[in-house]
Amino acid sequence: MAARSKSSQAWLREHFSDPFVKKAQAEGLRSRAAYKLEELVAKDRLLKPGMVVVDLGAAPGGWSQLVRRELGDTGRVIALDILEMPSLAGVEFIHGDFREPGPLSLLETALAGQRVDLVLSDMAPNMSGVDAVDQPRAMYLAELARDFAQTHLRPGGNFLIKLFQGEGIDEYIRDLRKRYTQVKVRKPEASRNRSSEVYAMAGGKR
């Protein structure tokens, strides 16, 4: 128990001294993760007025908040998460587990056949710390997100997803290259060095 307490204290110290945490608090953003997205969308000019954007794994809402800010009063932002997310003006939120058919059906109903311009996925499983358990769970979520994007993105649309380095990622990226005209793997500055996360930007759905 003492060891866990020490590690928790160390995490809290790191968290509150993190410059991105401080910046998010100062700018009224819900999470430091917004700065990962900000860097990624700026590099590829992913956001334009009037777009329809779906944000998978949205809670606590940092990405949806940034997208809505960039789109202004135009377009649609539809967010989904297994966790509750406090409401955001201009963001439609669906509460549920993306691995189950119900929330996916609600998302499809909300779209009502409307094509999506950009699918974002920051989904991650609850991490156990055991790679042999966590990596397959993470890849399963990544496959679900890829399949959703394949079905609902307009031709030429874009898909941005968080992946964890490990078994299955190379094959997944090869598969994305068959579906999109360009695929880039990036690690934004706001992503902690010790994290195995990277982001795949798949642009120009075939």
CATH topology of domain 30-205: Rossmann fold (3.40.50)
Whether 169 contacts 177, CB under 8 Å: no
Is 11 annotated to bind a ligand? Reply is no
What is the DSSP-derived secondary structure letter of residue 125? P
Task: Look at residue 11 and tell me whether its pLDDT is greater than 50.
Answer: no
Task: Look at residue 5 and tell me whether its pLDDT is greater than 80.
Answer: no
pLDDT tens sequence across 16-41 = 567 656 666 666 676 778 889 999 99
pLDDT confidence tier of residue 2, bands split at 50, 70 and 90: very low
Q: Where are the alpha helices (DSSP H) in 112-197?
A: 131-152, 169-179
Give the residue from 94, 91, 99 showing the smallest Cα distance to 30: 91
Whether 137 contacts 128, CB under 8 Å: no
pLDDT tens sequence across 134-176 = 999 999 999 999 999 999 999 999 999 999 999 999 999 999 9
What is the DSSP-derived secondary structure letter of residue 114? P
pLDDT tens sequence across 50-99 = 999 999 999 999 999 999 999 999 999 999 999 999 999 999 999 999 99
36 flagged as catalytic: no
Catalytic residue (choose from 6, 23, 162, 205)? 162
What is the DSSP-derived secondary structure letter of residue 87? -
Is 204 annotated to bind a ligand? Reply is no
Any idea where the domains of the chain sit in the sequence?
30-205
